[in-house]
Chain A
Amino acid sequence: MRSVSKFSSVPSEQYGSPEMPRDVGSSRPTARGHGTLASRQLQIYAFDPQLGRRRRFRISLEIPHESLQVDQHLGVDVRLRGRLFDVVDYDAAREQYYEVVDLENPSLVAGGGLPPTVDDPKFHQQMVYAVAMKVVSNFERALGRRVQFREPVALIPHAFRGRNAFFDPATNAIYFGYFRADPDDPGGNLPNQWIFTCLSHDIIAHEVTHAIVHNLRPRFREATNKDVYAFHEAIADIVAIFQHFGFPGVLADAVQAGRTDLSRPGPLLELAAQFGHSTGAGRALRSARDRIDEIATYEDTFEPHDRGAVLVRAVFDAFFATYSARVEDLIRIATGGTGLLGEGFLGAELVERITDEAGDTAQRVLDLCIRAFDYLPPLDITFSDYLRALVTADRELNPSDPYDLRANLVDAFLARGIHPKDVFSANEESLLWPGLASPAGDPPEPLAPSVLDRLAAFEVAEWGAAPAGEDPDTSARIKKRLERRHDERDALEREVRAYGQRHHALLGLEPDSTDRPIQVDGLDLVFRVGGDGLPLTEAIAQFVQAGGADSMDPVGGLDVRAGTTVVFSGDGSPRYVVAKPLTGGVDDQGAPTGRLAEIAEFIDQCDQRDPRSAWFGDDEGFALRMQERFDFALVHQMAPVRRPDRSGSVRRGDDRPDEGGADRG
């Protein structure tokens, strides 16, 4: 009815330009004269608003600079767009959007962004973007290559009401929830106060790490053994907690407060403090160290977060041991050779030097934890695989290992019951991944040099600026360039795939066939500078092969495959082979054997622990139950957080809610 529509809301085409996607009105040009900055400073809460009431926990984060586009709708800024992330503030609980912050606004660029505050959603968006980019820069630095998403990941800071946040591969978005603090036990917050998961550095870093890990190893979402999801959780926590060590002031405070002992309880080692306290747990959500009377071990844990904590703590055990070795001489120098620190405050110079060593050690361990990804199988990861990848990766880059980081890692993993299988010993040489052994003893065929050259050109283009004369922001040109790159990439992958087909037996794969094609899941070239100062170039190929008809027997909807990662040296020779063959099949009785039997056993363990087992009918729900159980969106939810004893006194001491070291001095 015309008369009605005339007075209804303004039609959007009146404002929007027809070329723009959907009803987004316009994009603000980004070239404003600061496009050549190397980095961007943005203010954040170092941890979260609860700790951030203290001045020293409101910090400025330095992240790589990129030109951001701000999309408008009816004159309002509605979307922030970067190379890797879109920030869209949609709230599904009310089905509305909030205006987004224009981080290219000159006054915000100059002033380091908006100051931290809980009551302005624009600051929330800024913090989500800043922390996400910090995680990216840590990954890029450690991997020696750009993080690439197929599409930018949407960051949605106030996506829903609820005590959760998650990365969802299906929609390529990270959703942050908001909720009310526990009315009876709000742990240092007001009862029923709004708590925002998007204001927790740790939750943002954790979820962004999930997204990047998913990008590096998409098949780690297939829960084929009890370590796979635990590994996802562990890496996400490791990145989040190690990022604390890079915060100015925070680390020095911890060095002074712990009198150089960094393993003391405190915000440095805790994950999502406000989340934990506000939900009545009486402590941070998780921690990099054991609680009193508790040692997390591999055998005793099953739930992904609990089990992931074993890996997190093993890595931090190794970090503490390495850090102690590195600062021992400094402490001796500062104490006239005794190594015994006297009473009172530590001298400022000592704190500064120790802080440097701690920060550097933390960065090295974090780099290693990330770099080890290139030495991981494409699927079916176990903690034992991860230890071998850590050892191999570090040995490649730092053969001399002056502070015994590798030995410390091995010791820490063994101490928690993580025992590498099928290796000769727990010594370094046994833990390195094997090479490609050709049966006749001939040197194995190298990857063609032309493949490496083209890969190198590809990667260099990614790091470098756009070619001169090309306007980097013209979407048509970007699109054309991307298309060219996709074609080039496809051609490269075809050649590498042919290599895998020729050498399938050496890679632990079956012959390529229509049923069981060998595919290339990933192909990367890596530039690094080794500990000896020399450049190190490697190409990493991930081969996967479908399981075939036998493996499709009841596996609860899991995608069961064989997979092998091959690390090629700069000259093309295969250097390491990390194989996950799909051994076994189905025997005469119809029972699975080999790796399939292990998967079946794992599914059975999940069935036993899952209260839903009783209710899965004979329908699709049962057939797909492993998918249902291992969905990033819901896997957090079943982990209980409430404190066991809510009625008694708040436990002090070890699990004391640390409001930022207020006891100091």
Chain B
Amino acid sequence: MDEVTVSMYNVGFGDCFLLRIPAVGGERKVLIDCGSIKRGSAGSIDDVVEQIIADVDDGSGPSIDVVVITHRHRDHVSGFASELWRRVAVSEVWLPWTEDPDDPIARDILQTMASFAESLHVDRDAGRFAAMSAAETELVDHVIENTLALSNEAAMSTVHRGFAGGSSGAVRRFLERAPGTLDTADVLPGVKVHVLGPSRDEDVIRDMNPPSGESFLHVADGGGPDLDASDLLPFEPIPAPRPDLLPIGVEERLREIARRSLLMGAVALESAVNNTSLMLVFEVGEAVLLFPGDAQWGTWKVNLDDDVRRDLLARTTFYKVGHHGSHNATPVRFVDDVLNADGRDDVWAAISVTRHGRFTKIPKAELLDELSTRIADPDRLVRSDRPPSPAPPPMSVIPGRSGVIRYDFALST
């Protein structure tokens, strides 16, 4: 019996999965994301990259049929900054349509995101987040680090232009939500690939646009104007000394709202990038593998509302849990009403995560509880930061320098 093997690399807080799919003419390999924002127990992302490259080399040099980049967050792409990828032969690179350099809407979205991330960066360095709590500062820092185009530049260069390939290099395909399946006869024969997101629907695109910097409140912090003179209204203020006419608490309240407003902006940016996530289903015989990237509610909803796609999701036998197990990337409706609707005992769910700073709700305990009611075999609900010992079949684990670096799951087709 042919099996699909899913390998989950222990990247820490990030995602990296390798599929090995049986096919006529030899096994096909699909790599989905390779990034980390906080190292895991098995080593750095570079250690993981070395491991992958060894894993995909069957003696004739490293090769991968398809590299999938779900979205450009650092925790999904940082591994591609490594020079080692130049040696890897890749046939196709699949990206969300928002990465298409020839698409004017995509260019505009990326441009808006980049400039907003940059302005957050500038605001932080100018000390405008000084009034924030440690937790809030950490969140903003995370968003800046995860999103800034600069820090992802080397990685995105590999993704868009790198890898070894045929005469013309690896083929880039920019995917968008569409009915039916993708034509993959050459690269993945016998595999049905369904693209569930990102959509080009107006509402979804709207969610990809982070709010403009003008959306946020700017107020001074009690020490006089913090804007440039050219950004002050051209109206003459009342000369000093100032009167004191405001209702109690106005100035403090405005400062508080300005701070929260910026924080919401940072979160909106993070979310906007997640909304560009490529959401794919690979169907190989009975095996149905769901990789939603970090897709958020809008993308999920449109698929859960679509009868055909909901039926497909109901047949999932391997679920890559969205966004490291956070609550807003896996709808309750999916877990409760759709996932494993037939009550099979061989359905997997895998969470790639490690404890990261103050983000104690990742993974979310309630989600893990819900998932455990849908995943009949407790051994098949897997967390990358909790290696089982010993690994129960049909899972196997591969040790790295310190901990488990790779988890392999066998899925029957």
Name A's B-contacting residues (CB within 8 A).
Answer: 9-10, 12, 22-24, 71, 73-74, 76, 78-79, 86, 88, 90-99, 119, 121, 151, 154, 156, 158-164, 168, 170-173, 175, 177-180, 182, 194, 279-280, 604, 607-619, 621-622, 628, 631, 633-634, 637-638, 640, 642, 644-648
Contact = CB atoms under 8 A, between A and B. Distances in A.
A613 B238 contact: no
B38 interface: no
A489 B268 CA distance: 47
B178 interface: no
A551 B72 CA distance: 43
B236 A98 contact: yes
Given A97-B237, A645-B105, A22 B359 contact: no
Nearest to A179: B214
A163 B261 CA distance: 11
Instruction: Give me the 5 closest cross-chain CB pairs, A-B, nearest first.
Output: A611-B271, A96-B237, A614-B326, A647-B104, A92-B219
B215 A164 contact: yes
Interface in B204-218: 205-207, 209, 211-212, 214-218
Contacts of B359: 614-615, 617
Interface string B96-120: 0000000011011000100000000
Interface stretch (B26-34, B123-131, B180-188, B241-249): B241-249
Contacts of A151: 247
Contacts of A607: 327-328
Nearest to B138: A615
Contact of B250 (A154, A608, A612): A154
A592 to B, nearest CB: 14
A92 B327 contact: no
Contact of B217 (A95, A161, A279, A280): A161
A95 B238 contact: no
A570 B294 CA distance: 60
A90 B245 contact: yes
A257 B332 CA distance: 50
B240 A9 contact: yes
Interface string B194-231: 00000000100111010110111111101011110001
A506 to B, nearest CB: 38
A97 B247 contact: no
Contacts of A162: 214-218, 258, 261
Given A162-B217, A637-B261, A171 B327 contact: no
Given A95-B220, A160-B254, A171 B243 contact: no
A71 B239 CA distance: 16
Interface string B245-278: 1111111011101101100110110110010000
Contact of A170 (B211, B244, B253, B361): B253
Contact of A98 (B220, B237, B251, B358): B237
Contacts of B271: 611
A618 B360 contact: yes
Among A74, A607, A608, the most chain B Cβ lie within 10 Å of the Cβ of A608
Contacts of A168: 253, 257
A90 B247 contact: no
Given A94-B225, A615-B361, A642-B212, A610 B328 contact: yes
B1 interface: no
B214 A163 contact: yes
Nearest to B327: A613
B164 interface: no
A607 to B, nearest CB: 5
B250 A90 contact: yes
Nearest to B246: A90
Contacts of A71: 245
A161 B227 contact: yes
B362 interface: yes
A614 B323 contact: yes
A446 B361 CA distance: 54
B297 A609 contact: yes
B340 interface: no
A78 to B, nearest CB: 5
Given A73-B238, A608-B297, 19 more contacts: A93-B231, A94-B224, A96-B242, A121-B233, A156-B250, A160-B217, A160-B219, A164-B217, A175-B254, A604-B332, A607-B328, A613-B326, A631-B260, A637-B264, A642-B112, A642-B206, A642-B209, A644-B209, A645-B105
A95 to B, nearest CB: 5
Contacts of B209: 640, 642, 644
Contacts of B265: 637
A178 B233 contact: yes
B261 A634 contact: yes
A173 to B, nearest CB: 6
Contacts of A164: 215, 217, 261
A158 B236 CA distance: 13
B220 A23 contact: no
B191 to A, nearest CB: 31
Interface residues of B, number: 76
Contact of A154 (B216, B240, B247, B251): B247
Nearest to B112: A642
A97 B217 contact: no
Nearest to B217: A162
A90 B209 CA distance: 32
A461 B129 CA distance: 52
Contacts of B384: none
B225 A97 contact: no
B56 to A, nearest CB: 32
Contacts of B225: 93-95
A172 B247 contact: yes
A522 to B, nearest CB: 23
B268 to A, nearest CB: 7
B342 to A, nearest CB: 24
A161 B296 contact: no
Nearest to A98: B235
Contacts of B260: 628, 631, 633-634
B333 to A, nearest CB: 9
B239 to A, nearest CB: 8
Nearest to A22: B244
B232 interface: yes
A348 B292 CA distance: 62
Contact of A88 (B245, B251, B364): B245
A180 B214 CA distance: 7
Contacts of A79: 243, 245
A637 B211 CA distance: 8
A22 B241 contact: no
B254 A159 contact: yes
A168 B168 CA distance: 60
Contacts of A78: 238, 243, 245
A19 B271 CA distance: 54
B376 interface: no
B395 interface: no
17 contacts: A24-B244, A71-B245, A91-B233, A92-B219, A93-B220, A97-B245, A98-B238, A151-B247, A154-B247, A163-B215, A168-B257, A171-B247, A611-B271, A617-B359, A634-B260, A637-B215, A648-B105
A621 B135 contact: yes
B154 interface: no
Nearest to A119: B234
Contact of B107 (A154, A640, A647): A647
A631 B207 CA distance: 21
B365 to A, nearest CB: 10
A613 B328 contact: yes
B331 interface: yes
Given A160-B218, A613-B326, A613-B327, A633 B332 contact: no
B139 interface: yes
Contacts of B332: 604, 608
Nearest to A152: B247
B267 A92 contact: no
B383 to A, nearest CB: 16
